[in-house]
Amino acid sequence: MQSITDQFFNLTIMAKTLPLMLSGLWMTAQLCAAVILLGLVGGLLVALANISPRAWLRIPSIVFTDIFRALPPLVLLIFIYSGLPFAGVEISPFAAVALAFLLNNSSYYAEVYRAGILSVGKGQWEAARSTGLTKAQTLSSVVLPQAIRNVLPDLLSNTVEVVKLTSLASVVSLSELLYNANMARSITYNASPLVLAALIYLVILWPVVRLVSRFQRKLAA
Amino acid sequence: MNNRPMLEIVSLQKRFGENLILRDINLKVARGELVFIIGPSGSGKSTMLRCCNRLEEPSEGDIILDGRNIMSGTSRDLDQMRLKVGMVFQGFHLYPHMSVLKNVTLAQRKALGRSADEANARAMDMLDRVGLAEKANAMPSELSGGQQQRVAIARSLALDPLVMLFDEPTSALDPELVGSVLAVMKDLKSKGMTMLVVSHEMEFARETADRVVFMDGGVIVEEGAPEEIFGAPKADRTRAFLSRVRR
Amino acid sequence: MQNFLQTFFNTKVMAQYLPDILSGMLVAIWIGLAVVVAGIAGGLALACLRTYRIRACNVFIICFADIFRALPPLVLILLLYFGLPGAGIRLSGPMVLFIVLALTLAAFAEEIFWAGFASIEKGQWEAGISTGLGFSRTLIYVALPQAVRLAMPPLVNRVLAITKMTALGSVIGVSEILSAATTAQSFSGSATPLSMAAIAYLILFLPLVFVARMVERRQDMRRGR
Band of the pLDDT at C225, cuts 50, 70, 90? very low
- The per-residue pLDDT for range B174-210, each reduced to its tens digit, is 999 999 999 999 999 999 999 999 999 999 999 999 9
- The per-residue pLDDT for range C167-184, each reduced to its tens digit, is 999 999 898 999 999 998
Distance of CA A151 to the CA centre of its chain: 16
Q: What is the nearest CA distance from A84 to chain C, expressed in angstroms?
A: 8
**At residue A49, does pLDDT exceed 60?**
yes
User: Which residues, in sequence order, are CB contacts of C92 under 8 Å at separation 6+?
Assistant: none
- The per-residue pLDDT for range A77-112, each reduced to its tens digit, is 999 999 888 888 889 999 999 999 999 999 999 999
The confidence score (pLDDT) of residue A148 equals 94
Q: What is the nearest CA distance from A177 to chain C, expressed in angstroms?
A: 10
Measured CB to CB, residues of chain B less than 8 Å from chain A are 53, 55, 75-76, 79-87, 89, 91, 93-97, 106-107, 110-112, 152, 155-156, 159
- Whether residue A66 and residue C209 make contact (CB cut-off 8 A), yes or no, is yes
**At residue B168, does pLDDT exceed 70?**
yes
Torsional sign, CA B152, B154, B158, B159: positive
User: Which residues, in sequence order, are CB contacts of C191 under 8 Å at separation 6+?
Assistant: A82, A83, A86, A87, C7, C8, C185
What is the pLDDT averaged over residues A174-195?
92
**At residue B94, does pLDDT exceed 80?**
yes
- C214: containing domain: 2-222
Contacts of B110 in chain A (CB under 8 A): 133, 137, 141
- Whether residue B112 and residue A132 make contact (CB cut-off 8 A), yes or no, is yes
Band of the pLDDT at A214, cuts 50, 70, 90? confident
Q: Alpha helix locations (H) across B65-191?
A: 75-84, 100-110, 116-129, 145-157, 175-190
What is the pLDDT averaged over residues B83-89?
91
- A32: containing domain: 2-220
The confidence score (pLDDT) of residue B59 equals 93
Contacts of A178 in chain C (CB under 8 A): 72, 74-75, 78
C-alpha distance from residue B34 to each of B75, B185, B198 (Å):
29, 10, 11
**At residue C224, does pLDDT exceed 70?**
no
Q: Number of structural domains, chain A?
A: 1
Between residues C140 and B45, which one has the greater pLDDT? B45
- Can you tell me the ipTM of this complex? 0.90
Mean pLDDT (chain B, rounded): 92
**At residue C27, does pLDDT exceed 70?**
yes
Band of the pLDDT at A219, cuts 50, 70, 90? low
Do C63 and C103 touch, CB atoms closer than 8 A?
A: no
CATH number at residue C217: 1.10.3720.10
Contacts of B93 in chain A (CB under 8 A): 121, 123-124, 126-127
**At residue C68, does pLDDT exceed 80?**
yes
User: Which residues, in sequence order, are CB contacts of C211 under 8 Å at separation 6+?
Assistant: C156
| Closest chain B residue by Cα to residue A145 | B97
Distance of CA A146 to the CA centre of its chain: 22
Burial A147-178 (b: 16+ CB within 10 A, else e): bbebbbbbbbbbbbbbbbbbbbbbbbebbbbb
Contacts of A131 in chain B (CB under 8 A): 82-83, 86-87, 106-107, 111, 155-156, 159
- Whether residue C69 and residue A209 make contact (CB cut-off 8 A), yes or no, is yes
* Candidates C78, C168, C205; nearest CB to A74: C168
* Candidates A121, A132, A149; nearest CB to B82: A132
Q: HSE on the CB side for A50, CA within 13 Å?
A: 24
**At residue C211, does pLDDT exceed 70?**
yes
Between residues C2 and A25, which one has the greater pLDDT? A25
- The per-residue pLDDT for range A118-133, each reduced to its tens digit, is 999 899 999 999 998 9
- Tell me the backbone φ, ψ of residue B32, rounded to 5 degrees: 75, 5
- Whether residue A132 and residue B86 make contact (CB cut-off 8 A), yes or no, is no
What is the pLDDT averaged over residues B6-21?
92
**At residue C77, does pLDDT exceed 50?**
yes
**At residue A55, does pLDDT exceed 80?**
yes
What is the pLDDT averaged over residues B115-139?
95
Type of residue numbered A192: S
**At residue C85, does pLDDT exceed 50?**
yes
- Tell me the backbone φ, ψ of residue C22, rounded to 5 degrees: -60, -45
Q: Is B61 helix (H, G, I), strand (E, B) or coil?
A: strand
CATH number at residue A39: 1.10.3720.10
* Candidates A131, A137, A142; nearest CB to B83: A131
- Whether residue B55 and residue A129 make contact (CB cut-off 8 A), yes or no, is yes
C-alpha distance from residue B155 to each of A144, B139, B171 (Å):
20, 14, 19
Share of chain C above pLDDT 70, in %: 97
- Whether residue A67 and residue C195 make contact (CB cut-off 8 A), yes or no, is no
C-alpha distance from residue A88 to each of A3, A84, A104, C4, C14 (Å):
50, 7, 23, 10, 21
**At residue A217, does pLDDT exceed 80?**
no
Contacts of A130 in chain B (CB under 8 A): 53, 55, 82, 85-87, 156
C near A: at least 3 beta-carbon pairs less than 8 Å apart: yes
CB atoms under 10 Å from CB of B234, counted, come to 12
The confidence score (pLDDT) of residue C126 equals 80
Mean pLDDT (chain A, rounded): 91
Between residues C138 and C70, which one has the greater pLDDT? C70
Band of the pLDDT at C216, cuts 50, 70, 90? confident
| Closest chain C residue by Cα to residue A164 | C72
Weakest-pLDDT range from A37-46, B19-28, B202-211, C4-13:
C4-13
C near B: at least 3 beta-carbon pairs less than 8 Å apart: no
d(CA C12, CA B154): 73
Contacts of B113 in chain A (CB under 8 A): none
Per DSSP, what are the bridge partners of residue B38? Answer: B214
* Candidates A79, A168, A171; nearest CB to C198: A79
To test the contact with chain C by mutation, choose from A178, A209, A210, A212 the residue with the greatest count of C C-beta atoms within 10 A, namely A209
d(CA A165, CA C170): 16
The confidence score (pLDDT) of residue C137 equals 84
**At residue B139, does pLDDT exceed 50?**
yes
Contacts of B76 in chain A (CB under 8 A): 134
Q: Number of structural domains, chain C?
A: 1
Contacts of A128 in chain B (CB under 8 A): 95, 106-107
What is the pLDDT averaged over residues A148-156?
92
Share of chain A above pLDDT 90, in %: 77
Q: What is the largest CA-CA distance in chain B?
A: 55
What is the pLDDT averaged over residues C55-72?
94
Per DSSP, what are the bridge partners of residue B211? Answer: B35
Q: Which of B176, B179, B185, B133 is nearest to B157 (CA)?
A: B185
Neighbours of chain B (3+ CB pairs under 8 A): A
Q: Is B167 helix (H, G, I), strand (E, B) or coil?
A: strand
The confidence score (pLDDT) of residue B247 equals 58
